[in-house]
A = this chain, B = another copy of it.
Amino acid sequence: MSHVPESHPRYQSLRLRDAIVAGVDAGVTSPHGLIAHGRGEAYDYLLGEQTATWAMTAIDAAAASLLLAQHPVLSVNGNAAALVGEELVALSRTAQAPLEVNIFHTSSDRERRIAQFLCEHGASEVLLPDGTTELPGLDSNRRYVHPAGILDADVIFVPLEDGDRCEALRRLGRQVITVDLNPLSRTARTASITIVDNVARALPLLVARVQQLIDDTNIDRQALVDAYKHEPLLSQAEARIRSGAD
């Protein structure tokens, strides 16, 4: 399967399948992530494996939202890293949005591997949950965050998200942008902006659209980022910062 020629009608699908299996082998993706990837394959098949015009509209909205944010953060899980690690690093750089690792199945070892994987793909810094800072309203491992990342972000880009976290972030008043091939999923239905598309097709388009908007508008991302630093969204008390002994 690793030697499928580009001319093969299933080339792109098989290439992504290899990437996600390689992600498991590298300790970046969880075995359950393979099942999630399969679900995506099925929905993509039904979509004709093309980016629809309404997905392009959502990508436009996502690009604008990321650029207008004061503190956007890109949340990365094992599947996203394995499938579009390089593109996420490019989006982070273009939109001046830090990368933060946030995974569903608890494993600080895998969190470190994802961060390392992103660094190997060009990231200069990757935020990790510090193990003491929690986002309110979530029971799973995903509640643990970095105090300067998702906890304090106004716009969070979370491709391939689970429904619980998307709902929790929305309850906290955050703007959530997601990429999800299942338009019926809780994530797709509760996110602020849902890009119903294959993440491998959507990410390069999103990076290009962000760059185009910057070129067209001369938006001052740095001014927005600087302004934000003095207005934290969530107080330390609200964020339930736990003592190290907890």
Task: Report which of B21, B31, B40, B182 forms a contact with A21, defined as CB distance below 8 A.
Answer: B31
Interface window among A41-49, A190-198, A199-207: A41-49
Q: Which residue of B lies closest to A36 (CB)?
A: B38
CA distance A43 to B181 in the complex (A): 13
A17 in the interface, Cβ–Cβ < 8 Å? Answer: yes
Q: How extensive is the interface on chain A, given as a class?
A: 20 to 34
Distance (whole angstroms) from the CB of A164 to the closest CB of chain B: 12
Residue of A31, A36, A37, A39 ringed by the most chain B CB atoms within 10 A: A39
Contacts of A43 in B (CB 8 A): 42
A34 near B38: Cβ-Cβ < 8 Å? yes
What 14 new A-B contacts, CB under 8 Å, besides A34-B34, A34-B38, A35-B38? A17-B35, A21-B31, A21-B35, A24-B31, A35-B35, A38-B38, A38-B39, A38-B40, A38-B42, A39-B39, A39-B41, A39-B42, A41-B42, A42-B43
